[in-house]
Chain A
Amino acid sequence: MNKQFFDIQKTAHLSRLSLSTEEQTRMSEEISRFAEFADILSELEIGGTCTEGAYSCGTRGDVPCVNRTELTDLTDGERIYGEYIRVPLTVEEE
């Protein structure tokens, strides 16, 4: 896990939650452990990045995809991914 991304105080603030120091420590440890486990996703062979450069679907080129056809399915402009899912609101850091 790239720990520079994870700031429990900032994330709790963005989530509209207030945590005690003890809760912050505990949740930070638990989420960091999970994030380290979830790094397995980076190691999966799920295709490379799109090398076409055109990104006709509007998706950024660094989105991992199975192949170009799949990338076309990731219609970022519509913010619809795949068949079912509407992407939740992105919480952007201020």
Chain B
Amino acid sequence: MKSESVISLLKKLSDKEISSVELTQSCIGEINTRNSEINAFISVTAESALINAAEADRKRMSGEPIGALNGIPFAVKDNICTVGIRTTCASRMLEHFIPPYSATAVSRLTSAGAIIIGKTNMDEFAMGSASDTSFFGAVKNPLNTAYTAGGSSGGSAAALAANTCAFALGSDTGGSVRQPASFCGLVGMKPTYGTVSRYGLIAFSPSLEQICPITKNVADNALLLELMHGRDNMDESTLDRSDSLIPEDSVVKGIKIGLPIKLLDTVDADISSAVLGAAECLRAAGAELYECEFPDTDAALAAYYVISSAEASSNLSRFDGVRYGYTASGAESVDGLFTKSRTEAFGDEVKKRIILGSFCLSHGAREMYYEKALAAKIKLRRDCEELLKKYDAVLLPIAPSAAYPLERKSADTLEHWRNDALCVIASLTGLPELAVPFGKTAGGMPTGVGFMGRAFEEKLLYKLGLAIEEGGVKYD
């Protein structure tokens, strides 16, 4: 099944060229071969996956009604709840947590017949962009294990790039699906805020995050988002969207695309070349390209870290050693139990963000940072609305570089956080952004580009993605 898309596998299953058991066994074989090297999975559910695969085959053979994804194995980021399957958030705090329910996004996929094959590694509580803050160790890029797979959904991207599943779910708060997808030569979509239910996603920053599909191609991504999206009474922020997200074609003639050319001065030459190459490809296909300005990425980055850390400090206060997760021993008071449990179970990055968030919400600092960040968020939304009145979409880099060697990660927190600067605008504004692979670096690692569009216009972004997929340099 190497490099096969979901749609191609569905056809083979339908034509009885392969069975779901064979497909699942193939994925388990790849996990057994690759996971010790890339550390993409925290938990593997081989036994239940094979049982579910056999049931999927039985249904198909007997002619019973089957779902759109019957027999397709997939991996789930370990901050997305799966009933009866350990869900750790890559943290010692939730090392043994088994959820009593599944996230709505997962339930919709399993109801369509998809089969969970395992839970993927990530940055602890999704805080990071290199998948190296995990309690379970760093994820490595399967395309070159000396390189990062990106983060925080690095395990999901690595699992898919290593052909251990047919697709994967991640969560994106400030680029956590788009960047690892880009680093691993895959497609990742952060849809408009409210498109996919967050019910069952363990909260880090609920005003920003969405559960997102990571796939091998654009058509798969559209199919999966179509199956996951929609109103959920368990998440009041979800939207009742009746529109189809699947593009009918890849015709881009007449589509107006803004290209924030000055941004290209801030990224590596390989990334700049990829964006310009994608622009050329779209122009050749009939799209109209225009140079444009782009909102201030420094202000967006500051607002993002203030807001997300503030929300994290509030959301993670529930982990107190009593109601959830790890409980420290030897505490002499209840207050001491809270502090000891949290101190022993949270990693360094999580502690840093909790403290930053608590500071941003504290008396005096709240007005200086938190409230100003909220105002900046409103301003960014207006700036993007103005921009997207002129253009149907904006073509931009996803990250300043392609995947980098693990040891090259900056020890300086602010410098490392700057890697998120290009993704956080779509996060803060709630707008959809699609990451699509396009070309390679001189060193052979995949490069990717992004399309940011108007709210609810995922279909148009998929159309643009299809167009560059057809005209681009595929990463194998």
* Bound Cα distance A44, B369 (Å): 12
Residues on A with beta carbons closer than 8 Å to the beta carbon of B365: 5-6
B299 adjacent to A44 (CB under 8 Å): yes
* Bound Cα distance A44, B306 (Å): 15
Residue of A nearest to B312 (CB): A88
B375 adjacent to A64 (CB under 8 Å): yes
Chain A min CB distance to B81 (Å): 21
Interface size on B, residues (CB 8 A): 57
Of residues 268 through 327 on chain B, the ones whose CB sits less than 8 Å from some CB of chain A are 296, 298-299, 301-303, 305-306, 310-311, 313-315, 317, 320
B339 adjacent to A27 (CB under 8 Å): no
Q: A interface, by DSSP: helix, strand, loop or mixed? A: loop
Of residues 360 through 403 on chain B, the ones whose CB sits less than 8 Å from some CB of chain A are 361-369, 371-379, 382
A93 adjacent to B342 (CB under 8 Å): no
B361 adjacent to A27 (CB under 8 Å): no
B352 adjacent to A31 (CB under 8 Å): yes
Q: With A41-B306, A88-B310, A88-B311 in contact, is A11–B358 under 8 Å at CB? A: yes
Residue of B nearest to A81 (CB): B374
A38 adjacent to B305 (CB under 8 Å): yes
Contact among B313, B366, B367, B382 for A15, CB-based, below 8 A: B313
Residues on A with beta carbons closer than 8 Å to the beta carbon of B374: 74, 81-82, 85
Q: Is A77 an interface residue (CB 8 A)?
A: no
Residues on A with beta carbons closer than 8 Å to the beta carbon of B362: 5, 11, 14, 90-93
- Proximity bits, A1-45, B CB within 8 Å = 1, else 0: 010111010011011111100010001001101110110111010
A12 adjacent to B355 (CB under 8 Å): yes
B359 adjacent to A5 (CB under 8 Å): yes
Q: With A30-B414, A64-B375 in contact, is A16–B303 under 8 Å at CB? A: no
* Bound Cα distance A42, B371 (Å): 10
Interface centre among B193, B302, B303, B358 (most CB of A within 10 A): B358
A16 adjacent to B338 (CB under 8 Å): yes
Of residues 55 through 94 on chain A, the ones whose CB sits less than 8 Å from some CB of chain B are 62-66, 70, 74, 81-82, 84-85, 88-93
Q: With A41-B303, A91-B358 in contact, is A65–B375 under 8 Å at CB? A: yes
* Bound Cα distance A87, B10 (Å): 44
* Bound Cα distance A54, B366 (Å): 22
* Bound Cα distance A33, B378 (Å): 25
Q: Is B207 an interface residue (CB 8 A)?
A: yes
Chain A min CB distance to B172 (Å): 15
* Bound Cα distance A35, B310 (Å): 13
A-B contact list, 18 entries, CB within 8 Å:
A14-B362, A18-B339, A18-B340, A23-B348, A34-B356, A34-B413, A40-B299, A41-B306, A44-B296, A46-B378, A47-B375, A63-B367, A64-B375, A66-B375, A85-B374, A88-B357, A90-B363, A91-B313
Give residues in B with beta carbon < 8 Å to A: 193-194, 207, 237, 296, 298-299, 301-303, 305-306, 310-311, 313-315, 317, 320, 338-340, 342-343, 346, 348, 351-352, 354-359, 361-369, 371-379, 382, 413-414, 417, 430
